[in-house]
């Protein structure tokens, strides 16, 4: 089921390189930078905003699973907020159960002090909640069958299915840049087929 869903999302959005109309770029695809991004020092999430045009043009549609997200996103509201998502370029149709298991293991590192350098980097990042990562490798022990990455994303409310535009599921289609810095954005729901929108809201 999930393989067919993500394939249909990718088909709806189209293959790269894509051309988005000027009207859509100025309206539906417009993602304003939050005011807090300019506080000194400038937030590293600026990396995502600088790469948005390239992400729209060349990004790949894959499944992503939230590791953690700003609590505001789970209730209706006006605020767009950052979140952490795990995904795989090598296996874009990776299933819910596997991604859920990987995300759970990553989140379990929060507040811990592992001796493994890679796990410590993830633990420190999730514990801090204010740092950003782009394409941080998931430990192979957590994902032996697929190379996975963790990236900070930005959840744009108007891109989530209505009417409340809040997070309903930990899994959703995302748009991921295949090359560094590996920026990621949830795929706007305009490109989700009806089956995915209904599953998301169920």
Two structure tokens written together for 5: 């869903």
Prediction pTM value: 0.94
pLDDT tens, 67-113?
999 999 999 988 999 999 999 988 777 778 889 999 999 999 999 99
Q: So where are the chain's domains?
A: 2-201
Residue 160's pLDDT band (cuts 50, 70, 90): very high
**Measuring CA to CA, which residue among 138, 147, 133 is closest to residue 62?**
147
Res. 43: pLDDT tops 90: yes
Region class of 14: left (phi > 0), else alpha (psi between -120 and 50), else beta: left
Q: Average pLDDT, stretch 112-130?
A: 95
């Amino acid at each position: 089921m999930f393989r067919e869903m993500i394939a249909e999302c990718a088909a709806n959005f189209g293959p790269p390189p894509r051309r988005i109309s000027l009207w859509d770029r100025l309206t539906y695809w417009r993602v304003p930078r939050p005011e807090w991004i300019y506080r000194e020092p400038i937030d590293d999430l600026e990396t995502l905003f600088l790469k948005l045009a390239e992400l729209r043009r060349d990004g790949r549609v894959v499944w992503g699973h939230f590791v953690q997200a700003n609590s505001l996103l789970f209730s209706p509201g006006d605020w767009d907020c950052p979140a952490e998502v795990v995904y795989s370029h090598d296996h874009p149709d990776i299933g819910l159960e596997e991604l859920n298991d990987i995300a759970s293991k990553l989140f379990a590192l929060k507040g811990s002090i592992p001796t493994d350098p890679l796990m410590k980097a993830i633990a420190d990042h999730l514990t801090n909640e204010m740092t950003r990562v782009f394409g941080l490798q998931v430990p192979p022990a957590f994902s032996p069958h697929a190379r996975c990455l963790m990236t900070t994303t930005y959840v744009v409310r108007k891109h989530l299915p209505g009417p409340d535009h809040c997070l309903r599921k930990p899994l959703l289609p995302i748009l991921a840049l295949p090359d560094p810095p590996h920026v990621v954005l949830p795929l706007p729901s305009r490109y989700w087929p009806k089956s995915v929108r209904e599953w998301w809201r169920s």
